[in-house]
Structure 1
Amino acid sequence: MDLSGRVAVVTGSGRGLGLAYAKGLADAGAAVVVNDVDAGAAGAAVEEIVDAGGRAVAEVVAVGTAEAADALVARAVDEFGRLDVMVTNAGVLRDRVLWKMTDEDFDAVVGVHLRGTFTCARAAAVRFRAQGTGGRLILVGSPAGQRGNFGQTNYSAAKAGVVGFARTWAMELARAKVTVNAVVPVAATAMTETIPALQPYVEALRSGEPVPPFARRVLAFGTPEDAAGVVVFLASDAAEDITGQAVGIGGDRLSLWTHPTQVVAAYADGGWSADAIAETWPTVFAAHEQVVGERLPEQAS
């Protein structure tokens, strides 16, 4: 992929998945605005990209407000003359079960993931429309937003909203030749290292050992670098006709998520009473009830 002449902003790119996305875009030739709340991490990321022959600058700001989003777009334009790609990756976790989650826990996560995606995408869309040459919005979702996850009321809701953003903005920005897609990654990061089923593979990576095929294929679990290719692809001309999609990536697996759809329906003349629903549910609907949460398979012994 050749992204020479393109300019990208990647939020939350001081480490983890965001850093992998920023490095992937820079390796393909794009100039990158690295963003993080940690000045040291942002500076180190820029140094790594520049040392590898890429172009990058840091903008240290907490994503969420309109002012922060405007600052990120302005930095791209001031430094590199334009903006072509906005990757909304920044995120935080405040995991607690529903009855223990505080308003502050909820607001912190929704403020970064959902409001941060909204404000950054809005600022980018304004710039894309002004330039008149199209653009790419690449929004980072999560399997938790697709299926739910225990203890992640705030995170799951925000990530589900991110995919809703992608579907809606794909329609709204089509005339401006702006594509909008969500990426649903799985990788070894601070946000996945607490999942018990993935612990052995996280430890393997920390020890410098390869992730076994079962994890890479069946669990779609790998390194952040494994998830970077799809972001580079979606930023490229090869993806100019792809929009409104939720694309899964992780380990050796690339996938496409469906949107919610009706799986079964029944009809009653005059409508449904509670008694009629109770009578019909076991025979028509029960077999089609949907699972909740990620059901990670166990490796055969």
Structure 2
Amino acid sequence: MTLDGKVAIVTGSGQGLGLAYAHELARQGAAVVINDVSADAARAAVDAITAEGGRAVAVVAPVGPSDTARELVRTAVETYGRLDILVTNAGILRDTVLWKMSDDDFDAVIGVHLRGTFTCVREAAIHFRKTQTAGRIICIGSPTGQRGNFGQTNYGAAKAGIVGMVRTWAMELKKAEVTVNAVIPVAATAMTATVPYFAAAVEADAAGDQMPAFFRHDLGFGTADDVAGLIAYLASDDAAGVTGQAIGIGGDRLQLWSHPEAVITEYREGGWTFDALEESFGELFGGRLQSVGEAFPPLPDELRRDPAAS
């Protein structure tokens, strides 16, 4: 098995995408530290993995505090003797438009996603450097962090920040031979289950049927299991040369996201005064302003479940 003898931590792995990641890592031979705030969900995840012949143990704690990060690493090392892989998946949503978002809405999401990723990666990095382990760090991003999304100020900021940290950490940990990458999944989750546009895909997934090709191919929208293979690959020795990347996956689609680059560069001797910008900005940049958010094609008639979904 690809990850035989390895040990992984997966935060937020009691259900959903995190659980799929944990299952795949275990199937590839890794022992897994499950993490969730729900003791029942964590216990069920451990039982499911061990029932399949895998090895798993649970840490029930909220991600964000440094104490949780230390407990996760300590549990991996004390239970299985080592740590090789960290997947930072834990997250929550508090969606609302900017003018209705409270301080608590903002802080809660930033605390779990952004601070939680930071504290867990910091603790794993300390361990990897101390033990001279060529570890694998995989942080979970989102299309919202890449493109923006209505009603997700807090989530978009956190996910964009995670990718920014990944690029920084890839440089800082290169000498230690630790790889750091971001995965941008697009899959049926509790969040997408409530969106009418995805209803036909979510219904198929819930019934155990294949999703329509429109979703899997055209939109790159699939199941949690469709994402899990990339997690295991990036955790493997085969991916030793892959670091600092943001890789999208969903359904039948695999993507390599670009780093932000200037799309147009113009120079003016003496600099750009207000008058110069007023005269030239529209001509130079007007037709090249960048879009925000994601634009989905209309649903085929046979896949519509709600007129609003089109």
TM range (shorter): over 0.9
- Could you tell which deviates more after superposition, 165-174 or 265-274? 265-274
Is residue 136–residue 179 contact of structure 2 (8 Å, CA) maintained in 1? yes
Q: TM-score, normalised by structure 1?
A: 0.98
- Residue deviations 1:86-117, cap 9 Å, x none? 00000000001000000000000000000000
Listed as ranges, the matches of 1:1-301 within 5 Å are: 2-300=2-300
Identity of aligned residues (%): 61
Structure 2 residue runs without a partner (length 5+): 302-310
**What SS does the aligned partner of 1:34 have?**
strand
**Moved beyond 6 Å, runs of 4+:** none
Q: CA deviation at 1:63?
A: 0.3
Q: CA deviation at 1:196?
A: 3.7
Is residue 11–residue 88 contact of structure 2 (8 Å, CA) maintained in 1? yes
Q: In structure 2, do the counterparts of structure 1 residues 288 and 56 end up closer, same or farther at CA, with 3 Å as the change threshold?
A: same
Q: CA deviation at 1:300?
A: 4.7
Is residue 197–residue 296 contact of structure 1 (8 Å, CA) maintained in 2? no
**What SS does the aligned partner of 1:217 have?**
helix
The one-letter amino acid paired with 2:90 is A
The one-letter amino acid paired with 1:143 is P
Cα distance in 1, alignment partners of residues 192 and 274 from structure 2: 42
Cα distance in 1, alignment partners of residues 194 and 164 from structure 2: 27
Structure 1 residue runs without a partner (length 5+): none
Cα distance in 2, alignment partners of residues 23 and 172 from structure 1: 30
Q: TM-score, normalised by structure 2?
A: 0.95
The one-letter amino acid paired with 1:166 is V
Cα distance in 2, alignment partners of residues 59 and 92 from structure 1: 18
- Residue deviations 1:268-292, cap 9 Å, x none? 1101112221221222211111111
- Residue deviations 1:103-159, cap 9 Å, x none? 000000000000000000000001101110210110000000000000000000000
Q: CA deviation at 1:197?
A: 2.3
Q: CA deviation at 1:217?
A: 1.1
Cα distance in 2, alignment partners of residues 193 and 156 from structure 1: 19
**What SS does the aligned partner of 2:192 have?**
coil
Q: In structure 2, do the counterparts of structure 1 residues 194 and 277 end up closer, same or farther at CA, with 3 Å as the change threshold?
A: farther
- Could you tell which deviates more after superposition, 199-208 or 62-71? 199-208
**What SS does the aligned partner of 1:176 have?**
coil
Is residue 64–residue 117 contact of structure 1 (8 Å, CA) maintained in 2? yes
The one-letter amino acid paired with 2:95 is D
Cα distance in 2, alignment partners of residues 234 and 84 from structure 1: 12
